[in-house]
Amino acid sequence: MSLNTWLKEFAPKQKIKKGDNLVALKYVQRKWTGALPENLVRHHLHWESGGSIREDRKPHRAYYFDADTCILCDWYHPTSAPCKNCPLTVETGHRCDEGRLSSPWHSFTRVNDPKPMLTLISDALVREEYLAL
């Protein structure tokens, strides 16, 4: 197991039609599920502060949980009003990284707790599923 096997399971390359929030949220949920400690251990990875996961045997190989690897950030961050229409922002009224110590994203980058981010994603997914009815 390695970073490559983790990527295949939790963050495989996938084409998602821009604006398809439902599919994007499911993809993001899958990726963040990969950040749970049991999934990192299974793939011989470890968390490092700052929001990266690295291979135990090859620490130079890393995956970063940041705006560069988030499809929602890719779609909604580069606007004049960053993240305004992101489904995570719509769900809470503020960005997932807003609040240096209390945001869901910072819970992961500072103390290796992906659960607040997974909860936010799940809540946004429920909203998107409802809107899709």
Per-domain residue ranges for the chain? 3-131
Residues 51/64, Cβ–Cβ less than 8 Å: yes
Which residues does 95 contact at the CB level (< 8 Å), separation at least 6?
Answer: 82, 83, 86, 88, 89, 103
Coil, helix or strand for 48? Answer: strand
Residues 105/97, Cβ–Cβ less than 8 Å: yes
Phi, psi of 70 (to 5 degrees): -110, 120
Reported as a single tens digit per residue, the pLDDT across 36-64 is 999 999 999 999 888 899 998 887 889 99
pLDDT of residue 58: 85
What is the band of 98 on the pLDDT scale with cuts at 50, 70, 90?
confident
pTM of the model: 0.92
